[in-house]
Structure 1
Amino acid sequence: MGDIESTEFNLAGGGGAGRERPVDPGPLEAERAAEVTLRPKSLDEFIGQPKVRGQLDLILSGARRRGVTPDHILLSGPPGLGKTTMAMIIAQELGTSLRMTSGPALERAGDLAAMLSNLMEGDVLFIDEIHRIARPAEEMLYMAMEDFRIDVIVGKGPGATSIPLEIPPFTLAAATTRSGMLTGPLRDRFGYTAQMEYYEVEDLTEVVTRAAGILGVAIDPDAAVEIASRSRGTPRIANRLLRRVRDFAEVHGSGVIDLGAARAALIVFDVDEMGLDRLDRAVLDALIRGHGGGPVGVGSLALAVGEDPGTVEEVCEPYLVRAGMVARTARGRVATATAWRHLGLEPPEGAPGLF
């Protein structure tokens, strides 16, 4: 692997790696091709996020009318909601090429300079997880975003010279799952910030139905709703569960996904009616049965379930908090009444959410 991890796309692409959990919102290495196939290619095809789509349509249409490059765009939100797909659509709508890289790949200013110098006028540069970009590269990005030029340092020590390098006007489309970690100067240079929200079941049902049509598998409406309701508000998870249910229907059924096949398949893959998988339930079990409902630190929970604390905190905990099953307090994590009942237990007096 080289210093810069990047790819050039015209219509589709993307990537990433994640753990083999069916409800992990992160992309899985083995499923890149399938995700590319299922990605919408235009704003009209994109399901959900109506506010973001409407605002982006205005920005892109206005730029096309004036014959200029659009303002830089920041796509913010949890993983799996379509930030990379939206960046691809931006390039498609503008009729330009898309260059892709990630924040961790830009370790030095020279990495970014090499990428910027290869841009053509009007290109879209997509930087995923931009909050993880190295500080030297970030400082170079300031000038590139604002003045469309960079200063390349040649030599070292007293003999070093700065050579200004003009770069063609471009649009930076950056994605972040942690907008709070962006520095103020970088955040202020984006002309538009799109906040991607979790999906409602109705929108996810449409996502599942569309994906089933692309995959060439028949699916009953009730089965599509069942898969959507267990997808944690995330299209990437919905598409992944659909593929696993399709496998089950082809191996153990007629190939048609009906409600019975969907429920049976999701039992096989340990995804319950709330969208929790084995690890999520193990965390709740450790919190409730092992520590009496808390409060308990994330390190102790991770030790109890045999996982890395980062996995518990970044992969499991966000959904458990959003689902109202875990509350964060100054003393640690506490199980709510909803969590107790989900495990079939009676919540004690004083449990959060008990009225």
Structure 2
Amino acid sequence: MTEPNLVSAYASEAERDAEVSVRPRRLADFIAQHRVRDQLDLLLQGAMRRGSPPDHILLSGPPGLGKTSLANIVAAELGTGIRVTSGPAIERSGDLAAILTSLAEGDVLFIDEIHRIARPAEELLYSAMEDFRVDVVVGKGPGATAIPLDVEPFTLVGATTRSGLLTGPMRDRFGFVAHLDFYSPADLEALLHRSARILGVPITDDGAAEIAGRSRGTPRIANRLLRRVRDFAEVRADGVVTLETARAALTVYDVDALGLDRLDRAVLTALVDSFRGGPVGLSTLAVAVGEQPDTVEEVCEPFLVRAGLLARTPRGRVATEAAWHHLGRIPPNGTFGLDAPPVPDLFTRAPEQP
């Protein structure tokens, strides 16, 4: 009954429809991110009073924190339409030109993972963001000509999980840049009570607090755990999400008290039991747990590092003292893996002999 992606901050295609019902529709309903919410409210109110589209907006931060919800809220607050696409879907400049020329005045264009947009399309976007004009090249070679096309004034909302991959010219063209932070347990509890009301799930304060504490500070994970606990409560309990029900349900789904799942614990267990706490190379660690290195690095490590359970060092990954205690192990006296000899990476190529 385990769900491998239960604590992943990324949404599957099947899950996006389930998320729609609990997403806030207005800025006043958006929980947490108080600083970003206040700044965005000023931006939108000022633009509506002037009767012009607001500046382009860039939203950055880890997945699952509400960037897509904020983009839809911007369009709802402005009373305009929204066109949704993603950076990987825009492979050619002509694809972007077709989208831009179809926008009505004041519309919102939302580009998710905007850092992955193709370079020719990105260069076309520059003139559209600044001058509301695109130049479409017709023909090839010496006979090619550029046809200028006017674009209705619009607001671009870009979302990225890796703001460092954005080019300087692209970043500079956004008038408002906001970074979303992880939610506090109190904010997640408020969010869970709201989602439970929408889904019609009876939930106690203790039950909400238990789920919030295992949600890694991410609303998407909190809502996902709520749905799984609801299933458990309806099938094996009286339908009410209480503290005991939440604990029993999350035990069934292999989510422990810190929000670690099976793969997270497998990484820590391999570090502690097989490699004496490290340091160990990423590829060697991935082989030990039977996963791809990218999965370990992108799915497991961000939370493990943030939770203080794993450290990245120049010699490799190291289990911290907290990791030893979380697994119920006694760390080596005074080492915690830091003084142990490095474990060679199986995929590291040895230097060639002269």
Same fold per TM (> 0.5)?
Answer: yes
For 1:326 and 1:264, locate their aligned partners in 2 and report how far apart those are by CA, in whole Å: 27
Residues 249-297 of structure 1: per-residue CA shift (max 9 Å, x gap): 0000111111111000000000000000000000111111121111112
Partners of 2:102 and 2:256 in 1: how far apart?
A: 48
Residue of structure 2 aligned with 1:112, choices 77, 96, 121: 96
Match in the other structure for 2:54: 70
Q: What is the aligned counterpart of 1:327 among 311, 319, 327?
A: 311
Q: CA RMSD in A?
A: 1.1
Alignment partner for residue 178 of structure 1, among 135, 159, 162?
Answer: 162
What is the TM-score of this pair, normalised by structure 1? 0.93
Match of 2:125 in 1: 141
Within 1, Cα distance between the matches of 2:108 and 2:337? Answer: 47
Aligned length: 335
How far has the Cα of 1:240 moved from its partner?
Answer: 0.1
Equivalent residues in 2 for 1:5-84, closer than 5 Å = 20-84=4-68
- From 238, 255, 270, the equivalent of 1:271 is 255
Q: Secondary structure at the match of 2:303?
A: helix
Please say if 1:129 is aligned against 2:100: no
Instruction: Check the 8 A contact 1:73/1:191 in 2, yes or no.
Output: yes
Give the fraction of aligned pairs with identical amino acids, expressed as a percent: 67
Aligned counterpart, 1:12:
none
Separation (CA, whole Å) in 2 of partners of 1:333 and 1:78: 22
Q: Deviations over 1:30-69 (max 9, x none)?
A: 2222200000001100000000000000000000000011
Aligned residue identity for 1:331: R
Larger Rg computed on CA atoms? 2
Say whether the 8 Å CA contact 1:219–1:256 is kept in structure 2.
yes
Task: Go from structure 1 to structure 2 and tell me whether the alpha carbon gap of 1:203 and 1:276 turns closer, same or farther (over 3 Å shift).
Answer: same
Report 1:156-167 matches (<5 A): 156-167=140-151
- Counterpart of 2:335 in structure 1 is 350
The whole-number CA distance in structure 1 between the counterparts of 2:153 and 2:312 is 45
CA shift for structure 1 position 306: 1.2
Q: Mind listing any 5+ residue stretches in structure 1 that lack a counterpart?
A: 1-18
* Structure-2 residue corresponding to 1:281: 265
Q: Which runs of 5+ in 2 are unaligned?
A: 339-354
Post-superposition offset of 1:350: 3.1
1:337: which partner in 2? 321
SS at match of 2:186: helix
Query: Deviation digits for residues 294-313 of structure 1, max 9, x if unmatched?
Result: 11121111111111111111
Please say which of residues 301-310 and 157-166 is displaced more in the overlay: 301-310
Residue in 2 that maps onto 1:208: 192
